[in-house]
Amino acid sequence: MGTYINKGHGNFLEVLGDEYVDKTGLILEINKTLNSERRYTCVTRCRRFGKSMAADMLCAYYDKSCDSHELFNGLLITSDKSYETHLNKYPVLKLDITNFTTKYKEDPQIISLLQKDVIEELLTVYPTVICGERDDLMDVLIKICAQSGEKFICIIDEWDAVLREYENDNKIEDEFIKLLRRLFKGDESKKVFAGVYMTGILPIKKYKTESALNNFKEYSVISPKKLDKYFGFTKADVRMLAEKYDMPYEKLEKWYDGYKIGNEKSIFNPNSVINAVLDGECDTYWGKTGAYDNVLKYIQMNFDGLKDDIIRMLVGERVGVDTTKFQNDMHVVESKDDVLTVLIHLGYLAYDKDEQQCYIPNLEVGIEMKNAVEATSWKYVSKALQSSRKLLSDTLAMNEEAVASALESIHQDETSILSYNDEESLSCAISIAYYFAKNDYIIHRELASGKGFADLVFIPRKHIDKPAMIVELKYDKDADTAISQIHRKEYHGKVLEYTNNLLLVGINYDKNNKKHTCIIEKYAE
């Protein structure tokens, strides 16, 4: 088996030897495009969401140097009429661009060396092909196809690795884009390739307003189109795994669900789910493989409103984002919307296309984002997050003075980001102070209940034996007024559908003396 040509099905065999969830439906979609104007496909998604697995699966299916019948036996693809038509029928050129960026990291001739390595192997596989001294990779492929009468399937994994690794070298980036255009633009390309599949984190780079390879059909976490179900695990996938490994589905949902991709309202991180069911416990598996420094760099960028948006998402809110102006280059970030769009592509934020909003998807990502925020210079937020465990404990213990004192201590920090301008900003700041409660509670802001909207409602998660809480906030009034409003507007009505173990919490902030007051009482019918 070759390094770049006809690699065989060994990598996919290893995937099947672990815990494999059938995503062979993707092959059906690629089969529909072969030898047509739609033969060029680029599918981009977050880290550890199955990019390389999909590339290995396609390689195993198309590669004519092996017999993959046994590997695909029983999988969805075998029921389609195109299965035998294309199974193991093509020479496959598979390039993992990260291999080249690692091998030639310090060499400015990386693009030339990439071509040289691939050409050398091609000429070993096709020794009767005669090449000229100035022939590039495309020249060699054209001659091979003319002589053999065959067309290649080209699979490129981590296509954008060059753009991510060579942030200060426009020359290398431009040379790489020119290579891709040489391979995949123009009539000669159709004679060489029956199909092309590229994958990576970022969609194809834009030059001005147009894609550098505008003949590619692109699918991304922002616009997945009909491939949405292949971007991760669906609820049905995870329920099957939860039952097989005797793990509570609700726990997997809490940790790894939350990505809304296209019409799929519930997509799970596949790498984390597999690790969790095999290990028998939920943890931040995805975060351990992440680009933490990159996230820290982006969220600290000095764009107006960015800090407030990050903080609001940290406490469970959604914020609007315009993803259309981003140039698909992590090093060309020129606005708050660009930062949020990068974080969506990296998987640190989820994206709701219908509402054009982004948000933190689940507990696993929330922990990583919290760690990143705590590493910033935002001392106020860091202090609030670190104090949130004790604040929750004091609230449950009905220690009114301790709660008021803790909120005062946090707010006195001169580096406060969210100033108390009104009840809305007070509500967001209090949500940060209660951040730790997210482990045991589902937190609702402005929950419709009774005769109005309760400011903050804490509903215990399943199997958590703690009281629910209704927190009403007042600005320049008093805590008694807050408690009275809970009773008068019957905010408890909705909460009693879940539990009658309920605390009522009234908090007031006096902007003149900068004092907080708190009253906590146990609800009694």
Model pLDDT for residues 297-329, shown as the tens digit of each residue: 888 888 888 888 888 898 888 999 999 999 888
The answer to whether residue 3 sits within a structural domain is no
| Whether residue 365 sits in one domain with residue 319 | yes
Domain-ending residue, one of 219, 242, 267? 219
Q: Is residue 225 in a domain? A: no
Q: Final residue of a domain: which of 374, 394, 411? A: 374
Q: Same domain, yes or no, for 207 and 326?
A: no
Return the sign of the alpha-carbon dihedral for residues 356, 360, 365, 368.
positive
Both 385 and 432 in a single domain? yes
Does any domain span residue 495? yes
Measured between its terminal Cα atoms, the distance across the chain in Å is 74
| HSE-CB for 476 with a 13 A CA cutoff | 6
Task: Give me the percent of the chain exceeding a pLDDT of 90.
Answer: 62
HSE at residue 215, side-chain half, CA atoms within 13 A, is 19
The strand pair at 193-200 and 40-44 is best described as parallel
Q: Mark whether 245 and 353 lie in a shared domain.
A: no
Apex 348 CA angle, 316 and 283, nearest 5:
85
The mean per-residue pLDDT over the stretch 285-303 comes to: 75
Domain boundary among 346, 374, 402: 374
Q: Which two tokens stand for residue 492?
A: 């408890």
User: Do 326 and 181 share a structural domain?
Assistant: no
Which SS3 state, helix, strand or coil, does residue 349 take?
A: coil
Report the domain count for the chain: 4
Region 147-173: what's the mean pLDDT? 91
Q: Which structure tokens are listed for 524?
A: 């009694």
Domain span at residue 329 reads: 290-374
Does 341 share its domain with 353?
yes
Q: What is the pLDDT of residue 415?
A: 40
User: Per mean pLDDT, which range of 9-13, 84-88, 102-106, 304-308 is the poorest?
Assistant: 304-308
* Three-state secondary structure call for residue 444: strand
Q: Rg for the chain (alpha carbons), in Å?
A: 27
Collect all residues with Cβ–Cβ distance below 8 Å to 170 and sequence separation of at least 6: none
Residues 391 and 325 occupy one common structural domain? no
Provide mean pLDDT across the span 389-399.
Answer: 93
Same domain, 167 and 71: yes
